[in-house]
Amino acid sequence: MNTPRSDAFIFFGATGDLATKQIWPALLALSKAGRLDMPIVAVGRKDIGSDAIRAKAKKSLDESKTFEADAFEQFSKRLSYVAVDYDDPSTFDALKVAVGQARRPLSYVALPPDVFEKVAANLAHAGLASDARLVLEKPFAHDSESAKALSEALYAFFPEQALFRIDHYLGKEQVENIVYFRAANPLFEAAWNREHVASVEITMAENFGVKGRAEFYDAVGAIRDVVQNHLLEAVACLALDLPEEGGHAALRGARTRLLSQVSELSHESLVRGQVRGYRDEPGVAKDSSTETFAALRLFIDSPRWAGVPFYIRTGKSLAVSITDATVRFKAAAHPVLDDREPAAANTFRFRLSPDNAIALVANVKSPGEAMIGEPGELVLRRSSAGALKPYERLLGDAIDGDASMYAERGAVEESWRVFDAALKADSTAYIYEEGSWGPEEANRVGPETGWANPAPSAP
């Protein structure tokens, strides 16, 4: 269904870390493509002025090596800044003035979830909610109960079709490639089930710390920051039943159905960790128990996946920055082989960051008379050059009114349901060293053969 494009872009959180790393480059790319030909209003609490926000945007573009003088000049002409007080609705009247004659503004809110309702109410007070769209950054709320309450509260100002719950992982070329690979290769899809698959493992490792996000991160932690959203969406893409219909809307529904089948995470299937020195970060509570690392074991209650463990691990200040998803098939001996042990298990590994690759591990006979061999790896690499960056794609879709690559309300609530009990239970955050692979206790919930520690040199 065709919907009118948004005609103004209001950017809450324009001075934050996410804006610097991701959003300003995405907005300039959209502007260059002619998809952001509208007023762009940056919003913050401090009255820094339009010149200062243009300087911040330029610094971001310089750091990301995406600055182009001519494009930025045109972009800057449409960019202004407004300071607001979230507790004073009257300050939002300046936003109405800043968007001029725009009648269908899109507001992108890169702020903590406890501010979402205030922002929505104040936009409505200023007359910026009618025929408008509201894009909300993750995490959406803190648990399933607050997610349901937040959606209901927002409905007082924006209808469901105007709410866009963003998860930039859904816009990643590498994540979408998982679904494409399955659908386009029936030879492998036929074995994508409990009869053949032994386990699925996902590792999202970062070799840096909270990097200026300490105050936000300390209120959220690793599970709420990336597991409940990013990594569970990756699980959905790996495990969903491929829909019979085409298009992103059908896939959106398939992801939600899969998430509704994920069993609730038990306290015993979760290990939390905290990197040594985290409490010394500015903005972190001195007695903080917030996890910077999480390892867990999930199951999916469906005919396809019953009994197959899904292992997930993520952490800050680990050995490398890399994200891999590994599908490990069952190993089996065969009478024709002379190997004393079953041949190595076949695996598919999907590199989700920093590059885009798929690796197949298969066994190859060794030279000689004996029927013995060793595993070899076939790597398929695909450059992401020319592909839209996730935020460029998703924000462009929201401007066009296309929510198909956004998380449904049901998907968000189901993903919170999975973690509700475990998040509420008291558990120790085990200390681990910077540059390691997390606390030793993570092995308690990991694969029997140990966690696979991915290396940057090979997918």
Beta-bridge partners for 286: none
Phi, psi for residue 93 in degrees, rounded to 5: -60, -30
Q: How far apart are CA 292 and CA 281, in angstroms?
A: 12
Per-residue tokens: 283: 């903005």
Beta-bridge partners for 204: 314, 323
Relative orientation angle of helices 248-259 and 409-424, to the nearest 10 degrees: 30
User: Degrees (nearest 5) of the Cα angle 423, 426, 431?
Assistant: 95
Q: How far apart are CA 276 and CA 209, in angstroms?
A: 11
* Strand intervals (E) in 340-386: 347-353, 357-365, 373-381
- Told to judge if 230 belongs to the known catalytic residues of this protein, a careful annotator would answer yes
Beta-bridge partners for 373: 365
Q: What is the DSSP letter of 270?
A: E
Phi/psi-derived region of residue 221, left when phi > 0, alpha when psi is between -120 and 50, beta in every other case = left
Per-residue tokens: 286: 């001195």
SS3 state of residue 377? strand
Q: What is the DSSP letter of 272?
A: E
Per-residue tokens: 254: 């398939």
DSSP output for 201-231: EEEEE-SS--TT-HHHHHTTHHIIIIIIIII
Instruction: Determine contact, residues 238/180, Cβ cutoff 8 Å.
Output: no
Per-residue tokens: 61: 């573009």
Beta-bridge partners for 378: 360
Q: Could you count the other beta carbons within 10 Å of the beta carbon of residue 408?
A: 18
Query: Which position among 125, 196, 230, 248 bears the catalytic label?
Result: 230
SS3 state of residue 401? coil
Per-residue tokens: 230: 């990013």
Hey, which residues are catalytic here?
Answer: 230
